[in-house]
Structure 1
Amino acid sequence: MTAVLPTLAVTLSATIALSDLYARRVPNKWLAAALLLAIAATVLPWIGGITPLAWPSLTGFAIGLTAMLPFYAIGWMGAGDVKLFATLGFLLGTRALLPIWVIACLMTGIHAFAILMFRLPRIAYAPGIAMMRQHLYALPLWQRALHARQGRAGQPHAAYLGMATIFVVLHPEWMHWGQP
C-alpha cells in the first residue's frame, strides 16, 4: 500500500477526532470526501498510464460496516462511528481493523470508567473534584462545546477510532497483530 491512503486515513482521523471530541459529530461530507479521494488516487494514475496504486479495500469497507452495525442497531454506537470504521476499512484494509477496534474500545472503556468514577457521590463531591468541575463548566470553550453538541451525549468513540488509527498507521507492525 502506498503512503497516499494511510496519509488520507491519518488526516481524516485527526479531523474526525477533533470534531467528535468538540461537537460529538462525524460529518458525512468528510467521510464521502475521503472515499472519493481514495478512489481518485487509485484510478487517476492508471488512466494517465502510471502504475496504479493498490485498490482500497472493498472487503475492509464491508467488514468494517457489518462488524459495527449490530452495535448501532442496539443503540450502543452512533451511525457516524459505524461509517467511520467502514471508511477506515476501505482506506487501510482488513488487517488494520482489529487493532484499531481493540485500541479504540479500550480507550472508550477507560473514558466510561472515569465518568462513572467521577459520578460516585464520594468522589464527585470531594472538594477538589467539585472545584475542578465548576472551573471546567465555566470555561468558554466548554460552553461552546456544549452548544455545538446540541444535546448529543455519549462517548466520543469516533475520536478514539481516529486516535487508534493514527497509532496503527504510525506503527504498521500492529496491522499484523493477532494474525498468523
Structure 2
Amino acid sequence: MSLLPVLAVLLSAQVAISDLYARRVSNRWLLCVGMVALGGLLWMWAVRGAPFPGMHLAGAVVGLAALLPFYALGWMGAGDVKYFAVLGLLLGMPALLPIWVASSLLAGAHAGCVLLAPGLRTALPLRMQWLHARAQEQWQARPFVRQIHASRQGRAGIPYAAYLAFATVGFIAYGTYGASS
C-alpha cells in the first residue's frame, strides 16, 4: 500500500474519533496531512518522473465543491467539507463518488433512526417505557457521558465526517484486499 492510502486511513481514524467524541474535525490534522500529501505528490512528479497528479488535485477541488453547498445551507459543518477535499487529494477524484454514496447511506440510516426513535418509544408498553427512561437517566448521569456532552459544546447532529471516515477505510480495504480476492 502506498503512502497516500495509509495517510487516508490514519487521518480517517483521527477524524472518526474526534467527530464521534466532540463533533469536531481538526483543522491542524487536515492541514498537516494535506500538506504532506501535496508535497509528496509534487515531489513524485517533479523529481521521480511520476505522472502529473491531476486526478488528486482535481479530487481536492471536486471534494470541496461537492459539499460546499451543504455547508452554505447549514446542513453540514465546515470540517466535513474540508475533510472530503483532503480525501480527494489523498485518493484522487475517482474515489470520491463511492465514499460519498456509502457515507450518505450511513448518515441517512442514522437520521432515520433519530426520526423514528420517538415514535417507537411511545409504542412500547408502559413498563418498557419506564425501564427505558430509567436506563437513560442512569446513562446520562455517568461522568464520561457528561464529559462527552461538555466537549461537544452544544454541537449536535449526525457525525457525517465519521461516516466519511468509515466509508474511506472500507473503500481502501476493498481496493486493497477485496478486489483481488
Quick check: TM above 0.5? Answer: yes
Structure 1 CA distance, aligned partners of 2:150 and 2:123?
Answer: 27
Equivalent-residue separation in structure 2 for 1:25 and 1:136 (angstroms):
23
Partner of 1:19: 18
TM-score of the aligned structures, taking structure 1 as reference length = 0.85
**Cα contact 1:16–1:26 (8 A) shared by 2:** yes
**How many Å apart are 1:21 and its aligned residue?**
0.3
The sequence identity of aligned pairs, in percent, is: 44
Corresponding residue for residue 160 of structure 1: 163
Q: Which runs of 5+ in 1 are unaligned?
A: none
Partner of 2:107: 108
Q: How big is the alpha-carbon RMSD for the aligned residues of Structure 1 and Structure 2?
A: 2.4
Map of 1:77-88 to 2, 5 A cutoff? 77-88=76-87
Note the C-alpha offset of 1:114.
Answer: 1.5
Cα deviation, residue 131, structure 1: 2.9
Moved more, 133-142 or 17-26: 133-142
Look up the match of 1:135. 138
Q: Tell me the SS of whatever aligns to 2:144.
A: helix
Pairwise CA distance, 1:127: 2.9
Question: Which amino acid is the alignment partner of residue 7 of structure 1?
Answer: V
User: What's 2:174 paired with?
Assistant: 171
Aligned match of 2:2: 3
Cα separation, 1, equivalents of 2:164 and 2:140: 26
Paired residues of 2:63 and 2:84 also in contact (CA < 8 A): yes
Indicate conservation of the 8 Å contact 1:41/1:53, yes or no. Answer: no
Measured at CA, do residues 46 and 103 of structure 1 come closer, stay the same or move farther in structure 2, by a change above 3 Å? closer
User: What's the counterpart of residue 95 of structure 2?
Assistant: 96
Q: What is the rounded CA distance, in whole Å, between the counterparts of 2:5 and 2:101 in structure 1?
A: 19
3-state DSSP of counterpart to 2:155: coil
Conservation of the 8 A alpha-carbon contact between 1:104 and 1:160: yes
The more displaced of 17-26 and 31-40 is 31-40
CA-CA distance at 1:43 after TM superposition: 4.2
Q: Highest Rg: 1 or 2?
A: 2
* Shift in Å, 1:141: 1.6
CA distance in structure 2 between the partners assigned to 1:44 and 1:20 by the alignment: 32
TM-score (norm 2): 0.85
Q: 1:117 to 1:131 in 2, by over 3 A?
A: farther
SS in 1 for 2:103: helix
| Residue aligning to 1:122 | 122
Count of aligned pairs: 172
**Deviation string, structure 1 residues 56-85 (Cα, Å, up to 9, x no partner):** 711001111111011111111111111111
Q: What letter matches 1:113 in structure 2?
A: G
For 1:28, the equivalent position in structure 2 comes to 27
Q: 1:122 to 1:93 in 2, by over 3 A?
A: same
When residues 69 and 43 of structure 1 are mapped into structure 2, their CA distance, relative to the original with a 3 A threshold, is closer
